């Protein structure tokens, strides 16, 4: 299965460990990614709220470029996924926006006819690869590992229809198909604060604290995420959460692709797991090494 790949800015910088695990894990699942030539920033959620039309135009440029590949476009980032899908939807539903975006693209010698389906990497891994195939690549027994799936607020919005917005299950399914134990907890779709961390850190830290606390209360060894920003907030800022609220969280926050890699018996180094903010230690380490 071949897809056009839209990496987004994060995975080529702060979240390069996400990219490393993607490169390491996907070939084994029969997923081939071809990077979109000359892609640009999607504008992220921040730009969308400042200059909506320009934001549509710059993300539509990526969609226009993708059309020559005649394939679905896959992104590993929740914000890119949301923004590109929103651009698609608005261009389809609002003739006025479609017209203006079209003019902008035309100025750049491009044209978008609306035929690109934008998908999240999680969607492709869970829905395009047979469960048996994923299970077949598993080499390590992770049944003792309790994993809390953290969906974040962006991939299961009702208008996209990827999964139930209140109680999504696709990551739960993935955890089970790699043989780990899935933790059911209430905060799996609650916002991590996203870019609020840059403007009102205290509020964002509070949001992160609730997610971490609920995962800990339900005895999760680790949290898995599908988004570079969620991962950064929950991982890198975990020590700040601890110092602000006097908590003692030490919950590794890893990407879902890293979990698949672990189950496939790949090394921590290969998966970029050495560079986490909160290191894998204690019981989780024992389970991974022992398995």
Does 187 engage in binding with other proteins (CB under 8 A)? yes
Identify whether the C-beta of residue 156 lies closer than 8 Å to the C-beta of residue 162. Answer: yes
CA dist., res. 79 & res. 56, Å (int): 14
- Kindly state whether residue 173 participates in binding other proteins, applying the rule CB under 8 A: no
Neighbouring residues of 266: CB distance < 8 A, sequence distance ≥ 6:
24, 25
Q: Pick between residue 115 and residue 186 the one whose CB is nearest to other proteins.
A: 186
Question: Binder to other proteins among 92, 106, 130, 167 (CB under 8 A)?
Answer: 167
CB of 74 vs other proteins, minimal distance in Å: 28
Give the strand order in the sheet containing 32-35. Answer: 32-35, 2-5, 73-75, 118-120
Minimum distance of other proteins from residue 59's CB (angstroms): 30
Nearest to 231 by CA among 202, 197, 260: 197
Among positions 164, 200, 283, 289, the unique one binding other proteins when judged by CB under 8 A: 164
**Residue 183 contacts residue 148 (beta carbons within 8 Å):** yes
Among 40, 127, 186, 199, contact with other proteins (rule: CB under 8 A): 186
User: Is 143 a residue that touches other proteins (CB under 8 A)?
Assistant: no
Site membership for other proteins, residue 214 (CB under 8 A): yes
* Nearer of residues 24 and 189 to other proteins, judged by Cβ: 189
Please, which residue, 70 or 248, has the CB nearer to other proteins?
248
219 interacts with other proteins by CB under 8 A: no
Q: Which of residues 7-46 bind other proteins (CB under 8 A)?
A: none
Beta-strand pair 73-75/118-120: parallel
Instruction: Tell me the closest approach of the beta carbon of residue 203 to other proteins, in angstroms.
Output: 13
DSSP 8-state assignment for residue 245: H
Quick one: CA dihedral 214, 220, 221, 226, positive or negative? negative
* Residue 220 interacting with other proteins (CB under 8 A): no
Can you point out the beta strands (E) in 50-191? 73-75, 118-120, 146-149, 181-182
Cα distance between residue 190 and residue 141, in whole Å: 30
| Nearest residue (CB) to other proteins, 178 versus 207 | 207
Query: Pick from 210, 240, 250, 291: which binds other proteins (CB under 8 A)?
Result: 210
- Our finding on whether 184 is near other proteins (CB under 8 A) is yes
Q: Give the total of residues touching other proteins (CB under 8 A).
A: 10
Least separation in angstroms between CB 190 and other proteins:
9
Q: In whole angstroms, how large is the CA radius of gyration of the chain?
A: 19
Decide whether 130 or 167 has the Cβ nearer to other proteins: 167
Let me know the angle formed at the C-alpha of 259 by 247 and 196, rounded to the nearest 5 degrees. Answer: 45
Backbone CA torsion sign across 10, 13, 18, 22: positive
Q: Which residues are at the interface with other proteins (CB under 8 A)?
A: 164, 166-167, 184, 186-187, 210, 213-214, 217
């Amino acid at each position: 299965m071949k897809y056009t790949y839209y990496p987004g800015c994060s995975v080529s910088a702060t979240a390069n460990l996400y990219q490393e695990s993607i490169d390491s894990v996907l070939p084994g699942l029969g997923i081939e990614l071809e990077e979109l030539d000359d892609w640009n920033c999607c504008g992220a959620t921040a730009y969308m709220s400042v200059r909506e039309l320009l934001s549509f135009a710059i993300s539509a440029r990526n969609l226009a470029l993708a059309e020559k590949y005649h394939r679905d476009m896959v992104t590993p980032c929740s914000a890119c996924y949301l923004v590109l899908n929103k651009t698609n939807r608005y261009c389809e539903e609002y003739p006025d926006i479609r017209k203006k975006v079209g003019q902008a693209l035309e100025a750049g010698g491009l044209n978008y006819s609306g035929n690109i389906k934008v998908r999240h990497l999680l969607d492709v891994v869970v829905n395009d690869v047979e469960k048996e195939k994923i299970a077949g690549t598993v080499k390590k027994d992770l049944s003792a590992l309790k994993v809390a799936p953290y969906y974040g607020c962006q991939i299961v919005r009702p208008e996209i229809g990827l999964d139930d917005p209140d109680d999504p299950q696709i990551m739960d399914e993935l955890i089970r198909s790699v043989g780990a134990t899935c933790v059911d907890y209430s905060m799996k779709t609650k916002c991590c604060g996203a870019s609020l961390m840059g403007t009102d850190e205290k509020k964002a830290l509070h949001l992160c604290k609730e997610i971490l606390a609920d995962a800990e209360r339900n005895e999760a060894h680790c949290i898995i995420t599908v988004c570079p920003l969620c991962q950064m907030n929950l991982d890198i800022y975990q020590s700040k959460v601890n110092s602000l609220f006097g908590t003692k969280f030490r919950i590794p926050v890893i990407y879902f692709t890293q979990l698949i890699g672990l189950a496939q018996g790949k090394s921590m180094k290969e998966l970029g797991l050495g560079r986490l903010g909160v290191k894998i230690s204690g019981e989780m380490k024992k389970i991974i090494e022992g398995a």
